[in-house]
Amino acid sequence: MFTPEIINKFSSINTPFYYYDLAVLEENLSVLQKISRQFGYHIHYALKANANPPILELISKYGFGADCVSGNEIKRALEFNFTADKIVFAGVGKTDREISFAIKNNIQCINCESIVELDVINELARKEERRARVALRINPDLEANTHHYITTGKKDNKFGINLKELDDLGNRLSDYSNIQLIGLHTHIGSQIRDLEVFKHLALRLNEILDGFKRRGIIFSDLNLGGGLGIDYENPEKNAIPEYQNYFKLFHDTLKPFPNQQIHFELGRAIVASCGSLISRVLFVKKGFETEFAIIDAGMTELIRPALYQAYHKIINLTSHGPSCKYDVVGPVCESSDFLGKNVMLPETHRHDLLAILSTGAYAEVMASRYNLRDLAPAVYSRELK
Ligand code: LLP
C-alpha cells in the first residue's frame, strides 16, 4: 500500500488527509462479490461507513445495493447509481419527510423499528396512494460481544421492535392496508469478531420466523444487518474480512422459508481496510513517564479511539529503526484526543509522516470541526499515479 513512490508523493500534500487505496477496495469487492454469489446472498453497502463519491461509484459498479439511515443517504445512493430496488432504509428516528421521500422513490424496503412507526408509514403511504414495502426490524435481545456503544440488539437498546411486542404486532398486521410486509430485519451491532454471536442470531431468527409461520405469515425477505468485524491489529495480513466463514455460518444455521431472499448490510468490512489517515508529527515531547508524539490529526479526524477506546495500528512512514514507545496524540484541547497509547514506533521525529491504518470506515464520516479545525480532505490512489 505504501511504496516509496507513494510516500514520496505524500510529502508534497498538506496533512492531515485521508488516503484511499481504491485497488484495495476493488480487491475486497471482488472477493465479496464472488463469495456472496456462491451463497446467493444480497449485499447492501452501509453508506454510513463512508459515503465519498469515488467509493460509492466503485461499490455500485459491482452491483451491490445500499443500506441507508437518512433521507440524505438515500439521495446520495441514488446519485451514485444504486438502484431504488436495492436500497433499504433503517433508523430508529425517521422523519415524516424522510419516510415520504423513501416511499416516493419506491425503494426496496423500509426497515421499521417500532409499532408507532408502522402507523406513520401506513398513513404517509396512504397519502402517496402507494403501498410501502416494509420489513420489521426485530430487537432479538442478544449479546454482540463488542463495545457497548456499538451494540444494538440487546433489549435495553433503542433499536428494533421488542420481542415482547411481537404477539400484539402479529394481531394488528392486517390493519395496515398501505403496507406490504415483505420481511424481517435485524442488526445487532458492529465490529463483531466472535462469529458465534451470529450463530446465536441465526438460531434466534429461526424461532422468530417459526412464530410468524404459525400465524400464517411468511416473509419473502430476511435482512441480517451488518456487523462483521475486521482485524485492526493485523490489517496488512488480514485485509480481507472473514466473508467465507461468516456467510457459511448463516448458510449452515439459518432455516429460511423456501425462496426467501437473504440480505446483509455490511459497512466496515467493505471499506475500513482501503483507508488510512496520513498525518505529520508536529512535536515529540517528553511527558512525565511517557513520550508524546503530537501529530496534526486528532479526534476531529478519527474519533474512534476517544469514543470506543478503539485500536488502530499506527506506522511511521518516514523513520525506520529500533522502536520506542509513544502516546500518539492530536492537537485538540481534550485529553481524550489520542490516536493511540503505548504505540511502538521507530524513533520518531518532527515532520515524520505517520499512517493510522484501517480508517476507511467511520473516520471521515464522523469528522468534526471542533476547535474550528479544517476538515481533512480525501486523496485517492488514482490521483497519485
Ligand atoms: N445496518 C444497520 C442498521 C446499522 O446500524 C449498521 C451500523 C450497519 C448495518 C453496518 O454495520 P457494519 O457492517 O459497518 O458494522 N461508528 C461506529 C460504528 C457504528 C455502526 C452503526 N451501525 C464505529 O466507528 O465503530
- How does pLDDT run across 257-276, given as a tens digit for each residue? 999 999 999 999 999 999 99
pLDDT one-digit tens code per residue, 147-182:
888 888 888 888 999 988 888 887 888 889 999 999
Mean pLDDT of all residues in 21-30: 98
Tell whether 8 and 29 lie within a shared domain: no
Q: What residue owns the CA closest to ligand 1's atom 22?
A: 190
Question: What ligand 1 atom has the least distance to the C-alpha of 362?
Answer: 24
Tell whether 230 and 95 lie within a shared domain: yes
Could you say which of 220, 244, 271 is where a domain stops? Answer: 271
Q: How many domains does the chain have?
A: 2
Tell whether 304 and 262 lie within a shared domain: no
Tell whether 242 and 162 lie within a shared domain: yes
Tell whether 73 and 201 lie within a shared domain: yes
Q: In this model, does residue 244 exceed pLDDT 80?
A: yes
Q: What CATH number does the domain containing 237 carry? A: 3.20.20.10
Could you say which of 271, 297, 318 is where a domain stops? Answer: 271
Tell whether 73 and 168 lie within a shared domain: yes
Could you say which of 221, 246, 271 is where a domain stops? Answer: 271
Q: In this model, does residue 144 exceed pLDDT 90?
A: no
Beta bridge partners of 18: 277, 378
Instruction: Give the pLDDT band (50/70/90) at residue 102.
Output: very high
Q: Give the angle 42-36-131 at the CA atoms, nearest 5°.
A: 5
Grid look-up 444504486 returns: 82
Tell whether 252 and 359 lie within a shared domain: no
Cα of 227 vs centre of ligand 1, distance in Å, is 6
Q: What residue owns the CA closest to ligand 1's atom 9?
A: 226
Q: What residue owns the CA closest to ligand 1's atom 23?
A: 362
Q: What residue owns the CA closest to ligand 1's atom 5?
A: 187
Tell whether 218 and 283 lie within a shared domain: no
Question: Cα separation of 188 and 227, whole Å?
Answer: 7
C-alpha cell at 38: 456462491
pLDDT at position 142 is 86
Pocket test for ligand 1, best of 47, 148, 190 (most atoms within 8 A of CB): 190
User: Which SS3 state, helix, strand or coil, does residue 354 take?
Assistant: strand
Question: Cα separation of 140 and 356, whole Å?
Answer: 35
Question: Cα separation of 376 and 278, whole Å?
Answer: 10
Cα of 140 vs centre of ligand 1, distance in Å, is 17
Cα of 136 vs centre of ligand 1, distance in Å, is 18
What pTM did the predictor assign? 0.97
Cα of 151 vs centre of ligand 1, distance in Å, is 9
Cα of 291 vs centre of ligand 1, distance in Å, is 34
Range of the domain at 223: 23-271
Tell whether 89 and 224 lie within a shared domain: yes
Tell whether 320 and 237 lie within a shared domain: no
Tell whether 231 and 102 lie within a shared domain: yes
Tell whether 217 and 319 lie within a shared domain: no
